[in-house]
Chains A and B, each alone.
Chain A
Amino acid sequence: MQNTLASYASRLNERLKNFFLTMQEFFEFSMRTFGALGATRRYWKDVLYYMYVSGTQSLLIVLVSAVSIGGLLTFEIGNILTEFGAKGLIGRTTAFSVIRELGPLLTGIMLSARVGARNGSELGAMKISEQIDALRAFGTDPIAKLVVPRLVAALIMFPPLTALCDAAALLAGAFMAIGYHSLDPAFYWNPVLNYLIPKDFYVGFLKPPVFAILMTLVTCFNGFSATGGTVGVGNSTIKGIVVSCGLVMVFNFYISKLVFELL
């Protein structure tokens, strides 16, 4: 009994130690990335490439998700509001949900999956094939060359993608409200355009840069930490995506709460 307890305590101790060590390494990795931001000018061609990868190439998946969620949201909300004779609130409800929460959240999750998977697997493969060591050996800072351009590209592309996601979701909502719930277009668009206040946009557009930083740092850190061959690359990629998606959801909640309490 005593032995079992001792072994359990030792395992717990080991796990806690590993957790804090990883946190320390992640903090150091993040600080080095922010410290290397000056390399953006040197690697501007890489920034353009990653803007294409994380922005243009992600557009379709973001729009498809936005249309599905926007349409579904209006469909479900419309059914409930119609029961209470409050069909006129469909536009307002959809607009608040999309601009404040769903647009940024959906974009953050989609990009964490798509761009995050790419970051994790590319960097993980580079790590296990010693390409990152080769960069260091040839006097190049791998963080400046590989992480900074990805971070800057994500910071530039996430806000416009979120705006497009919002627009697509609102349009899909409009089609659903007008086509399925037989709502007059003016009753849908008037609340959308007139009831939104700056605070809604602050919440909605404060999130994309935060998500860009979280997604890039977490997935790149996991790629840099990959060990143990192809299985290791797979594991580090999965870990990066899961942690990044989880953090996007948690931060989505806290940013909303913080902005509404402070402003």
Chain B
Amino acid sequence: MIEFRNVYLRYGSREILKNISLTFEDRMIHMILGPSGVGKSTIIKLMLGLIKPTSGEIYVDGVEISRFTEKQLFPIRQKMGVVFQGNALFDSMTVSENLGFFLRENLNLPEEEVQRRIKEQIKFAGLEGYENALPEHLSGGMKKRVAIGRALIFHPEFILLDEPTAGLDPISSKKNS
């Protein structure tokens, strides 16, 4: 469960979030809707500890993380798979390397298991034949599917999707859904 209690976020004189209290239950799909610039992406970044709130508390599985250091946050972040608004694929890595990044970095899995999971995600995302392609050679929809695959491949507890169908045509959007 992720919980926000009276969270405020200010940049200088700009108030981004004002007294936000939210609860995201386990095994539920939650959606935040709103016009651009109201802080939807910011909420995801706060959940990941990528930015710190000005005041208030953020709990992940009952642990207050808003004052955690980077090192303390790593195990928390490993519970979350995230798809950024702009995908944030590692552009010097191939599709396969992007998909296998988390597994190789953080889980001590045998290489055969890593390869098996990558193949599974490639098939799931319909990216057969693009395993060794760099992100720059993929279409917008394909990039988004790689980003989603990268977030799902390690079976995280929480999946955070920041506008997963933004900027896609209706067909790509339906495929991603």
Q: Which residues of A contact B (CB under 8 A)?
A: 125, 129-131, 133-141
Contact = CB atoms under 8 A, between A and B. Distances in A.
A137 B77 contact: yes
Contacts of B85: 130
Contact of A137 (B48, B75, B89, B91): B48
B63 to A, nearest CB: 15
Nearest to B70: A141
Contact of B88 (A133, A139, A140, A141): A133
Contacts of B77: 136-139
Interface of B: 45, 48, 50, 70-71, 73-75, 77-78, 80, 82, 84-86, 88-91, 101-102, 105-106
A140 B106 contact: yes
B90 A136 contact: no
A134 B89 CA distance: 8
B171 to A, nearest CB: 25
Nearest to B47: A137
A136 B91 CA distance: 16
Contacts of B88: 129-131, 133-134
A133 B86 CA distance: 11
Given A129-B88, A130-B88, A131-B88, A136 B75 contact: no
A223 B3 CA distance: 33
B70 A130 contact: no
- Nearest 7 interchain pairs by C-beta: A134-B88, A130-B88, A139-B78, A139-B74, A139-B77, A137-B82, A138-B102
B50 A131 contact: no
13 contacts: A125-B91, A129-B86, A131-B89, A133-B50, A133-B88, A136-B70, A136-B77, A137-B80, A137-B84, A138-B77, A138-B102, A139-B77, A140-B106
